[in-house]
C-alpha cells in the first residue's frame, strides 16, 4: 500500500495549511522515527512527524475499510502507483459506486456518504489532519491558535 502522488500532495498541503510543516522530518529523520516505533522504542515529541502520522492514519483506515485487500499489489490495475493500492484512491472508487449509483450487487447495503460536501478522500484527509493538529496543540508542539 502506498499513497499516490496526487494524494501525497494533498496530504502535504493539508499539513502545511495547518502550520505543521516545520514539524515534518526529512527522509532520514522520518525513517529513524519509523524504525523506533516499529521496534517499540519510546519516541519523543521532538521527533513527531505530522505527515508520517497522517500517512499511518490513512493506511490504517484503508485496512479498516478494505481489509487485507488494501495490501495487494497488481502492476496492471495500479500501474500508475507502482502496482500498489492507494489508501485513498481505492476506497473512493469503491464508495463512489454507492453514491447515487449501484455497485451491481443486489445484496449490497453499503451506504457511503461523506460528512460534508467533499468526496471521501478529501474529507478523510481534512478530518485526520485536524486530529493531528489537535494532538500537536495538546502536546504543545504548536501554538494553541493558528
Whether 145 is in a domain gets the answer no
Buried b (16+ CB within 10 A) or exposed e, 118-135: eebbbebbbbbbeebbee
Whether 72 is in a domain gets the answer yes
- Reply yes or no on whether the pLDDT at 97 is more than 70: no
Report pLDDT for 68: 86
CA dist 98 and 95 (Å) reads: 5
- Domain coverage including residue 64: 5-138
pTM of the entire predicted model: 0.81
Model confidence over 60-80: pLDDT tens digits? 988 988 888 888 888 888 889
Whether 146 is in a domain gets the answer no
Model confidence over 44-62: pLDDT tens digits? 787 889 999 999 999 998 8
Whether 40 is in a domain gets the answer yes
Number of domains in the chain: 1
Amino acid at each position: 500500500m502506498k499513497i499516490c502522488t496526487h494524494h501525497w500532495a494533498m496530504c502535504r498541503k493539508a499539513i502545511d495549511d495547518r502550520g505543521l510543516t516545520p514539524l515534518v522530518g526529512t527522509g532520514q529523520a522520518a525513517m529513524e522515527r519509523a524504525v523506533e516505533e516499529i521496534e517499540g522504542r519510546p519516541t519523543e515529541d521532538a521527533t513527531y512527524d505530522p505527515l508520517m502520522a497522517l500517512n499511518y492514519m490513512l493506511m490504517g483506515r484503508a485496512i479498516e475499510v478494505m481489509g487485507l485487500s488494501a495490501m495487494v499489489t497488481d502492476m496492471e490495475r495500479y500501474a500508475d502507483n507502482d502496482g500498489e493500492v492507494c489508501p485513498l484512491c481505492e476506497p473512493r472508487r469503491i464508495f463512489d459506486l454507492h453514491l447515487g449509483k449501484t455497485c451491481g450487487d443486489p445484496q449490497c447495503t453499503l451506504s457511503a456518504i461523506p460528512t460534508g460536501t467533499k468526496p471521501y478522500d478529501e474529507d478523510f484527509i481534512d478530518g485526520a489532519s485536524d486530529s493531528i493538529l489537535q494532538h500537536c496543540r495538546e502536546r504543545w508542539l504548536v501554538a494553541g491558535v493558528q
